[in-house]
């Protein structure tokens, strides 16, 4: 038995810790091996995980213990109001699996983040926003995944610099503005994505991914309904009612529609929207959707290069750091 605890988050009124219980620990890519056959084998293994249902669990954090259990997909989510004051920043927690007699079977360590009161949050898509994924074509997307190991995957130029400046830090793990990476990718790819993010030293953040997929659904990876992603973003805005957000995505799939609905459903909460123009055929339609969003001072941008977004972030006062003019 193995408990996988994902990076989670905490507000003043709500703590959420989530993860999965598996029969065995998921495999990790051999980042030193870029052979195609090895990549295919490792990737398929990520979708052969065996979740365990109805496992009794206890979470330990800040001298508090909460009971829960895994659901029919092996997923668990602890949600409670903290009994003790939790400082801002990153904190550790422990999740234990117990038997019917209350004895510990196994345990895993996790982390959760409580955003600073004065900060805004950044909600970012991953595929075709940060990571070159070619999501519009399932076959090209799969080719990118199987032809390269995680450390060989490519990001869009200058994305790391932009995200670090938005996070108000040059040191990953010490962000004052929290990052939430909300993606259509499945929880199967959690460690895969973390490897990419750590390799490129992107801001450490919370991943909110799609439901686990089994091997038979492998060719549907990255595909999810409009409502699922909307619900995950909605849960963040509800968890932190006093925090505003920047939304970052692309126009290859549903981000423009989802972000428009979020901006209308939570007026005054979205301070800027950035959409990468990955689909030139959708540019006019995307620009129209941006103009219809309820965003502070209409800070919306459809951008072709990350430098355009970085420069506009500076103009809008979202970045405090000095940006060397030569990069423009």
pLDDT band at 245 (very low <50, low <70, confident <90, very high): very high
- In sequence order, which residues have a C-beta less than 8 Å from that of residue 303 and are 6 or more positions away? 274, 275, 276, 277, 309, 312
* Of 292, 227, 284, 279, residue with least CA distance to 253: 279
* Of 252, 210, 224, residue with least CA distance to 47: 210
Write out the DSSP string of 220-276.
Answer: GTT---HHHHHHHHHHHHHHSTT--EEEEEESSSSHHHHHHHHHHHSTT-EEEEEEE
CA separation for the pair 157, 155 (Å, rounded): 6
Question: 207 with 6: CB under 8 angstroms?
Answer: yes
- Spatial strand order in the sheet of 270-276: 206-210, 179-186, 121-124, 245-250, 270-276, 300-303
Residue-wise pLDDT tens digits, 252-282 = 889 999 999 999 999 999 999 999 999 888 9
Per the structure block, which two tokens stand in for 118? 């004065």
Residue-wise pLDDT tens digits, 298-317 = 899 999 999 999 999 999 99
Question: 109 with 5: CB under 8 angstroms?
Answer: yes
| pLDDT value of residue 135 | 80
Question: 235 with 210: CB under 8 angstroms?
Answer: no
Is the entire prediction scored with pTM above 0.85?
yes
| pLDDT value of residue 267 | 94
| pLDDT value of residue 226 | 60
Per the structure block, which two tokens stand in for 121? 């949050």
More confident residue, 225 or 136: 136
pLDDT at 325 over 80: no
pLDDT at 69 over 90: yes
| pLDDT value of residue 31 | 63
User: In order of start, what are the domains of the chain with their CATH numbers?
Assistant: 2-114 (2.60.40.10), 121-327 (3.40.50)
SS3 14: coil
Length of the chain: 328
């Amino acid at each position: 038995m193995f408990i996988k605890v994902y990076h989670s988050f905490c507000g003043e009124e709500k703590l959420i810790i989530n993860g999965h219980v598996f029969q065995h620990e998921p495999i990790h890519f051999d980042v030193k091996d870029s052979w195609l056959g090895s990549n295919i084998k490792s990737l398929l293994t990520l979708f052969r995980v065996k979740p365990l249902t109805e496992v009794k669990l206890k979470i330990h954090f800040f001298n508090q213990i909460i009971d829960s259990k895994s659901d029919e997909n092996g997923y668990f989510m602890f949600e409670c109001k903290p009994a003790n004051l939790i400082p801002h920043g990153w904190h550790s927690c422990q999740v234990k699996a117990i038997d019917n007699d209350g004895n510990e079977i196994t345990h895993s360590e996790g982390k959760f983040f409580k955003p600073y009161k004065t900060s805004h949050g950044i909600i970012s898509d991953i595929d075709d926003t940060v990571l070159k994924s070619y999501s519009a074509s399932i076959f090209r997307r799969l080719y990118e995944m199987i032809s390269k190991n995680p450390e060989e995957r490519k990001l869009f130029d200058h994305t790391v610099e932009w995200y670090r400046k938005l996070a108000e830090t040059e040191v990953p793990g010490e962000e004052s503005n929290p990052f939430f990476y909300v993606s259509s990718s499945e929880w199967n790819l959690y460690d895969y994505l973390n490897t990419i993010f750590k390799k490129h030293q992107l801001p450490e953040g919370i991943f909110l991914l799609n439901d686990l997929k089994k091997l038979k659904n492998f060719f549907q990876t990255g595909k999810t309904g409009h409502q699922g992603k909307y619900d995950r973003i909605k849960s963040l805005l509800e968890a932190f009612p006093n925090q505003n957000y920047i939304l970052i995505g692309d126009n290859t799939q549903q981000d423009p529609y989802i972000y428009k609905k979020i901006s209308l459903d939570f007026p005054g909460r979205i301070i800027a929207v950035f959409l990468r123009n990955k689909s030139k055929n959708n540019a006019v339609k995307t620009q129209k959707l941006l103009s219809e969003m309820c965003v502070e001072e209409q800070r919306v941008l459809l951008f072709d290069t990350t430098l355009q977004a970085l420069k506009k972030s500076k103009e809008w006062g979202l970045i405090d750091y000095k940006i060397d003019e030569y990069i423009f």
